[in-house]
């Protein structure tokens, strides 16, 4: 569909970073006839913080046709992270896949298949962002770099045109603000933002270079981000190549103000307090002056208007402790593009499309805010947050003690991708292991479904709703339920469990139902699918979509997660043998 005579473009995107380039690329991939303009105030390449990714980005890069181009840049392959946090002193590893699945030698570039589907990248944003913007242009987007927006013309909440500093006045049917924290359109329209979190952090960072700087952090051609607690915050150390790394400090804003220290002083002190990082940087050289920003999580009051959308960090931002920033941005941009594509087709209700975009994307940001709060509450300098966990639970309609709420938070809001029980790269089993490391408990963290054998679906007083499922450029409508703000989507692992529960209540019948559906299914890893289904059941019990009980005359379900496992383990102990 071409722009009408009354408009210069179908879609005008402000910002050429990952949010803008992903939106543009997705639009043109599925509808090459659209006329799309991307305005970028900088001239690429330019440095940008936020280098560490999570595995879901690979799927999006592959879908938009940019995987091979990004892979050709040979950014380090990230298989997880190394932490000291909470009660832990010895570093522990979190990995996306067992190291046994990583080939001894991997040739680059590689296809998006096999073990690479489970990995992520650590990218030099100057190179990465330029690759994506060039890719969007190659698909047909008109890209104007070095073009600043002077003014947003609008009337009654509707954007009428965009005026550039060069004096051009440009019109479009739809406008997308993907300008990050600059938020050009959002600020011009007076869209309010809220910070529904007690996390008020600042961050300072720099880039370091040194010959063979990261030799010890690469093995099998892969690496991990290093996260290290210090008395007043935490440090990130992200290897960007064998000779270059990004190092940053995150600490409470109040501590920074009260310390009376300059950013460079605080940054240097934090590094000196962390033996591994200070040793790594001993012969390295900082590239430039230290940079800084506030890491205050926030959420926009509205994500859309009559003819505009907010996308990526313009819409909302969650604390970077889980390295989810780029993942949230790419996923939001994909959803924005899909929504616009459906609006242009005119087959689905526009109001529903817009509202579901806002509901799903704001929910994702809030979930990551909450999970970050849970994460920080285990760190000494954020001790007041543990009590705040009760307030978070209360917001969800639960009356829990701080300790109970602390535990509950690690199981809440697990649907980064609809149909999967996962958040921030952690599934339920991973979160159970994290709980062990964040508490003083010597006994294992238990599953709610363990020791139970009778399960009943509870959709009483729930409203039937339609849930958007994005696939191949179309938004499909899956069935689902909504109750007190909680959504249960009948898709993915949750659909498997719901189907089983509708015809069975005992665990033996449920397992037989699942195996019948999964065994022999083309392209399905049966063992993995069963694990995901059981983890989905755990989340459904936690959220009261399922009532669990025990019939003493029948066998019970035995679910457990060892503290030391294939994916999460104490570094000094080494990875346990796979069972």
451-503 pLDDT, tens per residue? 999 999 999 999 999 999 999 999 999 999 998 877 888 988 899 999 999 99
**Domain at 285, CATH number:** 3.30.9.100
CA dihedral defined by 539, 544, 546, 552, rounded to 10 degrees? Answer: 100
319 within some domain: no
The residues pairing with 426 across neighbouring beta strands, listed in sequence order, are: 423
In angstroms, rounded to a whole number, what is the distance separating the alpha carbons of residues 20 and 29? 14
Q: Is the pLDDT of residue 406 over 70?
A: no
Q: How confident is the model at residue 191 (pLDDT cuts 50, 70, 90)?
A: very high
> Once rounded to an integer, what is the mean pLDDT over residues 150-162?
97
26 within some domain: no
Structural domain boundaries, residue 505: 454-549
Residue 463's φ and ψ, nearest 5 degrees, are -90, 135
Query: Comparing 55-69, 225-239, 511-525, 564-578, which segment has the lowest mean pLDDT?
Result: 564-578
In the chain, the number of structural domains is 2
Q: Omega of the bond prior to 33 within 30 degrees of 0, cis?
A: no
Write down the pLDDT at residue 48.
Answer: 86
104 within some domain: no
DSSP string, 89-145: -S-EEEESS-GGGS-SS--SS--S-GGGGG-EEB--HHHHHHHHHHHHHHTT-EEEE
Write down the pLDDT at residue 443.
Answer: 56
Top pLDDT among 55 and 523 is at 55
In angstroms, rounded to a whole number, what is the distance separating the alpha carbons of residues 575 and 69? 34
Nearest to 169 by CA among 143, 151, 144, 147: 151
Residues 6 or more apart whose Cβ sits within 8 Å of residue 46: 126, 129
The residues pairing with 229 across neighbouring beta strands, listed in sequence order, are: 234
In angstroms, rounded to a whole number, what is the distance separating the alpha carbons of residues 220 and 209? 22
In angstroms, rounded to a whole number, what is the distance separating the alpha carbons of residues 435 and 374? 10
> Once rounded to an integer, what is the mean pLDDT over residues 156-165?
96
Whole-number percent of the chain with pLDDT over 70: 83
Which two structure tokens, joined as six digits, stand for 300? 């926009």
Q: What is the DSSP letter of 578?
A: P
Query: Comparing 77-91, 322-336, 468-482, 529-543, which segment has the lowest mean pLDDT?
Result: 77-91
Query: Comparing 79-83, 327-331, 512-516, which segment has the lowest mean pLDDT?
Result: 79-83
57 within some domain: no
Query: Comparing 86-95, 172-181, 432-441, 550-559, which segment has the lowest mean pLDDT?
Result: 432-441
In angstroms, rounded to a whole number, what is the distance separating the alpha carbons of residues 413 and 368? 9
Which two structure tokens, joined as six digits, stand for 37? 């303009």
Write down the pLDDT at residue 200.
Answer: 83
Write down the pLDDT at residue 80.
Answer: 87
Handedness of CA 159, 160, 164, 165 (dihedral sign): negative
Residue-wise pLDDT for 47-57, tens only, equals 888 899 988 89
Q: Which of 264, 294, 324 is the last residue of a domain?
A: 294
Q: What residue ranges in 450-490 does DSSP mark as E strands?
A: 454-457, 463-471, 474-483, 486-489
Residue 573's φ and ψ, nearest 5 degrees, are -85, -20
The residues pairing with 162 across neighbouring beta strands, listed in sequence order, are: 152, 170
Q: How confident is the model at residue 350 (pLDDT cuts 50, 70, 90)?
A: very high
CA dist 204 to 225, 273, 279, 368, Å? 17, 16, 19, 21
> Once rounded to an integer, what is the mean pLDDT over residues 412-425?
52
The Cβ-side half-sphere exposure at 545, using a 13 Å CA radius, reads 26
Residue 55's φ and ψ, nearest 5 degrees, are -55, -35
Q: Is the pLDDT of residue 166 over 50?
A: yes
CB 237 within 8 A of CB 245: yes
> Once rounded to an integer, what is the mean pLDDT over residues 22-26?
98
Q: Is the pLDDT of residue 535 over 90?
A: no
CB 137 within 8 A of CB 143: yes
Q: Is the pLDDT of residue 321 over 70?
A: yes
Q: Is the pLDDT of residue 73 over 90?
A: yes
Q: How confident is the model at residue 527 (pLDDT cuts 50, 70, 90)?
A: confident
pTM score: 0.88
214 within some domain: yes
Q: What radius of gyration do the chain's Cα atoms show?
A: 24
In angstroms, rounded to a whole number, what is the distance separating the alpha carbons of residues 149 and 196? 30
212 within some domain: yes
Q: Which of 249, 265, 294 is the last residue of a domain?
A: 294
* Mean of pLDDT over the chain: 86
Write down the pLDDT at residue 439.
Answer: 60
508 within some domain: yes
The H or E element containing residue 350 is helix 350-377
CA dist 175 to 153, 184, 476, 554, Å? 12, 11, 24, 60
The H or E element containing residue 279 is helix 275-280
376 within some domain: no
CB 540 within 8 A of CB 483: no
Q: How confident is the model at residue 385 (pLDDT cuts 50, 70, 90)?
A: very low
Query: Comparing 91-95, 127-131, 269-273, 460-464, which segment has the lowest mean pLDDT?
Result: 91-95
Q: Is the pLDDT of residue 392 over 60?
A: no
In angstroms, rounded to a whole number, what is the distance separating the alpha carbons of residues 345 and 68? 30
Which range is most confident: 295-309, 311-325, 397-411? 295-309
Whole-number percent of the chain with pLDDT over 90: 57
């Amino acid at each position: 569909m071409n722009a009408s005579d009354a408009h210069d473009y179908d879609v005008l995107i402000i910002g050429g970073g990952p949010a803008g380039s992903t939106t543009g690329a997705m639009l043109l991939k599925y509808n090459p006839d659209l006329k799309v303009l991307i305005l970028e105030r900088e001239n690429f390449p330019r440095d940008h913080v936020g280098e560490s990714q999570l595995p879901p980005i690979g799927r999006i890069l592959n879908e938009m046709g940019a995987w091979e181009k990004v892979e050709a840049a040979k950014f380090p392959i990230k298989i997880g992270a190394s932490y000291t946090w909470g009660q832990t002193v010895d570093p522990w590893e979190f990995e996306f896949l067992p190291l046994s699945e990583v080939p001894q030698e991997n040739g680059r570039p590689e296809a998006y298949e096999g073990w690479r589907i489970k990995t992520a990248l650590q990218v030099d944003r100057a190179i990465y962002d330029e690759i994506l913007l060039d890719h969007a242009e190659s698909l047909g987007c008109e890209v104007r770099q070095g073009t600043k927006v002077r003014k947003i013309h609008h009337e009654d909440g509707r954007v009428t045109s965009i005026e550039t500093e060069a004096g051009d006045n440009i019109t479009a049917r739809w406008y997308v603000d993907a300008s990050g924290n600059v938020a050009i359109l959002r600020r011009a329209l007076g869209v309010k933002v809220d910070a529904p979190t007690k996390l008020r952090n600042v961050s300072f960072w720099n880039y370091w270079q040194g010959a063979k700087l990261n030799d010890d952090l690469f093995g099998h051609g892969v690496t991990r981000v290093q996260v290290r607690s210090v008395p007043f915050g935490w440090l990130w150390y992200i290897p960007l190549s064998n000779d270059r790394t990004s190092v940053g400090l995150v600490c409470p804003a109040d501590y920074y103000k009260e310390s009376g220290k300059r950013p460079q002083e605080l940054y240097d002190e934090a590094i000196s307090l962390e033996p591994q990082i200070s040793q790594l940087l001993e012969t390295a050289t900082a590239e430039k002056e230290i940079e800084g920003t506030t890491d205050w999580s926030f959420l926009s009051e509205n994500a859309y208007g009559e003819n505009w959308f907010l996308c990526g960090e313009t819409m909302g931002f969650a604390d970077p402790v889980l390295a989810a920033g780029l993942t949230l941005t790419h996923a939001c941009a994909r959803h924005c593009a899909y929504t616009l594509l459906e609006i242009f087709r005119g087959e689905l209700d526009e109001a529903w499309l817009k509202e579901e975009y806002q509901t799903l994307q704001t929910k994702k940001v809030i979930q990551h805010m909450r999970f970050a709060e849970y994460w920080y509450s285990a760190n000494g300098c954020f001790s007041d947050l543990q009590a705040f966990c009760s307030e978070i639970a209360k917001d969800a309609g639960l009356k829990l003690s701080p300790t109970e709420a602390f535990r509950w938070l690690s199981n809440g809001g697990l649907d980064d991708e609809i149909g999967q029980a996962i958040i921030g790269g952690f599934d339920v089993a991973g979160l159970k292991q994290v709980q062990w490391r964040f508490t003083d408990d010597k006994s294992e963290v238990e599953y709610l479904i363990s020791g139970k054998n009778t399960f009943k679906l509870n959709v009483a007083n729930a409203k039937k709703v339609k849930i958007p499922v994005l696939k191949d450029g179309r938004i499909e409508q899956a069935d689902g339920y909504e109750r007190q703000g909680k959504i249960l989507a009948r898709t993915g692992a949750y659909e498997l469990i719901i189907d089983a529960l509708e015809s069975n209540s005992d665990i033996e019948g449920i397992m037989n139902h699942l195996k019948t559906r999964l065994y022999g299914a083309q392209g399905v890893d049966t063992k993995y699918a069963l694990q995901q289904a059981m983890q989905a059941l755990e989340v459904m019990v936690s959220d009261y979509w399922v009532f669990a009980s025990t019939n003493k005359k029948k066998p019970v379900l035995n679910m457990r997660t060892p503290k030391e496992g294939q994916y999460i383990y104490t570094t000094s102990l080494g990875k346990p043998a796979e069972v």
